[in-house]
Chain A
Amino acid sequence: MLSLSVATFRERWQLFVGAIITVTLGVALVQSSLLIVVSAGDHGEAIAVLGLALGVSTFLAIFIVSSTFAFAIAQRRRDLALFRLIGGSRGQVRRLLLSEALLLGALGTVLGVPVGLVAMSAQTSLLASLGFLPDSFSAEWHGWILYVSAGIGIGVAQLGVLAASRRASRVPPLEALRETGTAAKVMTLSRWFVGILLLAVAITLMSISTAVDSPNGAIPLSINSTLALALGLSALSPVVVPLVGRVTGSLAGTTTLGGLARANLRDGVRRSASTAAPLLILVALVIGLAGTFDTLSAGAQRQLADDVHGDLVAAGPVPPGTPGVASASAEYTLSIKVTTVSYGDEETDDVEALAIDPAAYQQAHRQRLVAGSYADLHGLAVAAAGGDLGSTVRIRVGGREITPRVVAVLPPKLNGGPEYLLPRDLVPPAALGPARSIVRLQPGADAGAVAAALPQPVSTLDDWIAENDSAQDTLNAGVMKVVMGLAALYAVIAVVNAVVIAAGERRREFAVARLTGFGRGQVIATALLESSVVTVTGLGLGWLAALATLIGISGVAGTMVMPWGIFWLTVLGAFLVVGATSVWTSLTATRPTPISLAGTRE
């Protein structure tokens, strides 16, 4: 069976190029991410980013390999029927395809290992430039990674072909005898099942995430529901894409070419679905993730604006009796070590905290406490975000170990700001970090004059809130860059692959159109029109999936931000890639004289 696979592979390599590149990339990314993770040890943020990259690249690789195989197998139905007709059993058809996937996986591994070394240095410098790793960092090579790489390469390929091979083995032998193979049913029972199941999962996750009030719970729920929704819609794409395509197809107009493009779209369900699905996933992932982070940061900003009550923010304590100042809350940032005990394991974390004067703090902050009261915040006491009122925490601050009682519980913060408020007199002066003062002016005081007398630099409250937020975004932006870059890369491979395979199948169709009187330019224009409608459909569905995610996350953030900038950038990129590929492939397919193609089969 393997030698037959080798032969098929040599003959039909164009069908597999996309899948090989995908596996190569998957192997390279998993290998480099793993090697960096192993060497990164205690750089937690880098490991988190890499973990996300690992998950996304494995997932997308399997997804693309499986859609490539599904499409490639649909193209080979006649071959497979013939194989059955001359005595191949169902099991042999499956083995044939599995060994093709084995070859593909092996090839992907061989190419992926060296590419992984390049990826490793690229990833390391990217992570270093984002500040997640020290500049001196370099990952070590481990011999065992070769086994992992081979396992990933071959495993991804085998997983990808599994479903398609089961379907292929059901091709009836009679199809080899028919002039035109009966169009295979695109929407299979398992597609319905998987699609509906994933949609149900997505809806469940989404409704849970609107009910959750902590961002730590809502973010993973929302990201997972984006994934489920995108996958569910792409499983249902043979139903959804033509349906939506009927609406977007009206963009093609009522001209002759537009009419033909619409008819082709109705006819080539598999083709349209294969092109639209990766675009759908791309937009859902990119807009869903970017929107989630934007929404959360907008929510955090709003939370801060709602909480802080004042006119100016000064960079230091304000001496009492400064003219024009009604009240000033001096807040010192400091880092403390908090030891928690869970299930008998002691765990100590570095945590951000604020040292405050409770009375002044209350003047400057309107945030309602979940439980307890600021009035109790004196002596051996703290206010904590989360935790139970009346419980004690072990805190190490300025070299002193203290065990204060929680007397006030703060609501959870969206931006991961200070988790503890300590009374100023509990903290040794040496441990106090930089201070800021939130200043309220006396009625009628001149803001400019008062500001000049305050510790510099002084900013207005609005400016300070806007500034405060951007620092927090760096981590998010880094994660976004990594994930979006990967998603875009895979989507481009999948889309180009689908367009190329589809055009190969249409050589004869194009030739017949030209013999019927279409000019070469008209054929190319029709193909371009078709792929544009498919692109609009895929992008639109992806946007809907992202929107649903953002509605989910808006529950916890209290606001919603649609990242239009990134969206239009993605739209532009998608049209460029699909349009260019479509024109290029239809140009190639129409190069020979039409009569030489119209007579040939396949």
Chain B
Amino acid sequence: MITTETHVDAAVELRDVIREYGSKQARVRALDGVGIGFARGTWTAVMGPSGSGKSTLLHCAAGLDRPTSGQVLLGDRELTAASERELTALRRKEIGFVFQSFNLVGSLTAEQNVALPLRLAGRKVSTKEVRAILSEVGLGERLRHRPRELSGGQQQRVAIARAMITRPSVLFADEPTGALDSRSARTVLGLLRSLVDGSGQTIVMVTHDPAAAARADSVLFLSDGRIVDHLTRPSTRQVADRLAVLED
């Protein structure tokens, strides 16, 4: 599933990606030659101590940040060379995002938030489709609520529905359970699991919670901008132990 070699059927692939920040004197290498393919229909968790480069990896993989050198491929398209216009089109069709802080548009109802990506893409919004996906995440009763009238877990589920409405080839999640209590976190993780198992969704998730990582198919460990380890279907205990070693 995870290989440090290039993968034949990868949804996203990074080839020898280097990302440096800052000017000459204070140059920081956030990613130091990362090569990885995220296979279609799998859920990968990216872990590591703070400053290990996991967020940068997510940003580069999603085409939000441009690598200093190396290539990023989404399917067969090269993101590193894409124009702003092409990247916008990709965000509409191929990429979905879920954030730690939900980031719903506060002025819109749950239903309107979910429909927003379709409207931005200029596609006809079918109410049925929107409602179907909201009931899929268990919020069929809360269509007309605004974000502030929903709990954190419910907001995150609306955010997942919003990310999934365009049927993206990859769903990127940045600490999706970081702001949730453990019960809501379990619900959200269960939902992500069912997306992978049920419809073959590819998910790349950054997290520092071993319990969340243990729900993924595989876990990737980063340290100082390099991939240092990966585990397949680990237990929470295994993930926690591995992380403890890295953080020492």
Chain A interface residues (CB < 8 Å from chain B) = 4, 7-8, 10-12, 79, 82-90, 92, 172-174, 176-177, 601
Contacts and interface: CB of A to CB of B under 8 A. Distances in A.
Nearest to B113: A86
Given A4-B108, A174-B65, A177-B64, A88 B120 contact: yes
Interface stretch (B24-32, B95-103, B214-222): B95-103
B106 A11 contact: yes
Contacts of B64: 85, 172-174, 177
A8 B162 CA distance: 18
12 contacts: A4-B108, A7-B107, A12-B107, A79-B105, A82-B105, A85-B97, A86-B117, A86-B120, A87-B121, A88-B120, A177-B99, A601-B101
Contacts of A4: 105, 108, 116, 119
Given A85-B91, A86-B91, A177 B85 contact: no
A89 B88 contact: yes
B60 to A, nearest CB: 10
B166 interface: yes
A10 B88 CA distance: 28
Contact of A7 (B91, B99, B108, B120): B108
Nearest to A11: B107
A174 B59 contact: yes
Contacts of B65: 174
Given A10-B107, A82-B105, A177-B55, 10 more contacts: A11-B106, A11-B107, A83-B105, A84-B91, A86-B91, A86-B117, A87-B91, A87-B92, A173-B91, A176-B99
B112 interface: yes
Interface residues of B, number: 27
Nearest to A5: B107
A433 to B, nearest CB: 71
**Chain A CB within 10 A, most for which of B99, B120, B121, B174:** B120
Interface in B63-83: 64-65
Contacts of B117: 86-87
B84 interface: yes
Contacts of B162: 86
A82 B116 CA distance: 11
Nearest to B119: A4
Given A7-B112, A87-B91, A177 B59 contact: yes
A8 to B, nearest CB: 5
A87 B119 CA distance: 9
A148 B121 CA distance: 36
A8 B121 CA distance: 19
Contacts of A601: 101
B55 A87 contact: no
B97 A86 contact: yes
Contacts of B120: 83, 86-89, 92
Nearest to A7: B107
Given A89-B88, A174-B64, A177-B174, A82 B103 contact: yes
A215 to B, nearest CB: 55
Contacts of A12: 107
Interface string B138-171: 0000000000000000000000001100100000
Contacts of A172: 64
A356 B55 CA distance: 92
A601 B92 CA distance: 27
B53 to A, nearest CB: 14
A239 B179 CA distance: 39
